Amino acid sequence: MRTRINRWLIARWVQPLLIVLCLLPLAWLLFAAFTDRLGANPAETLIRASGDWALRFLCLTLAVTPLRVGLQLPTLGRLRRTLGLFVAFYALNHLLAYAWFDMGFELDDIARDIAKRPFILVGMVAFGLLLPLAATSFNRAVKALGAVRWRILHKAVFGIAVLALLHFYWMRSAKNDVAEVVVYALVLGFLVGWRVRHAWQDQREGVIH
């Protein structure tokens, strides 16, 4: 069974299908916007939904390695890069929705808002850290940086996860709505903890051998 799944995962149609699936949330949001289905405050719905999807794709990206190891499906790792790029894609849409609908693309107002509201500053820092990861998610970038430096750079994803969760918490806590934050905290805590534990085990085994 594992052999069959591994063969499916390397098929040519898998990546295009994954891209289509990853675009479905955006397609739904656009459809809802054009058919007036975003509720009483469409701008807030778009901003929050795009941010929620960025966080969900971050969880999916971090889940690839534990699933690959736990299910013994090495070819599952091929999907991680695409999922990671969609983290950046939805984070960019989140930022653009905020800059457009909340701030009208007024840079001075955006700068003042960042200085006034820490959760926006944290979100901006997380997005800033995300950009170099997205820009180096290609084979040429891996070759240019070298495998070791590329891996070190992409470990920033763990810091991004912490900042994204903090951004989400501050935003929701202002409205006394933290139930969903707890769910994401548990998921991200487990995924990051798994990676840290296995990195420590690999290092220990390397020292022994």
Domain residue ranges in the chain: 2-208
Tell me which residue of 140, 136, 154 sits closest to 64, measured CA to CA.
154
Tell me which residue of 81, 48, 58 sits closest to 188, measured CA to CA.
58
Contact criterion met (CB below 8 Å) for 59 and 191: yes
For residue range 93-116, list pLDDT tens digits in order: 999 999 999 999 999 999 999 999
Q: In which element (H, E) is residue 71 found? A: none
How does residue 207 score in pLDDT terms, banded at 50, 70 and 90?
Answer: very low
CA distance 144 to 167: 33
Tell me which residue of 62, 113, 120 sits closest to 95, measured CA to CA.
120
Residue 32, token pair as written in the block: 């809802």
Residues 6+ apart with CB under 8 A from 112: none
Q: In which element (H, E) is residue 36 found? A: none
Q: What is the mean pLDDT of the chain?
A: 92
**18: how many CB neighbours lie within 10 A of its CB?**
15
154 SS3 class: helix
* Percent above pLDDT 70 for the chain: 96
Contact criterion met (CB below 8 Å) for 115 and 121: yes
For residue range 2-39, list pLDDT tens digits in order: 888 888 999 999 999 999 999 999 999 999 999 999 99
- Give residue 11's Cα distance to chain centre: 25
Tell me which residue of 72, 184, 82 sits closest to 134, measured CA to CA.
82
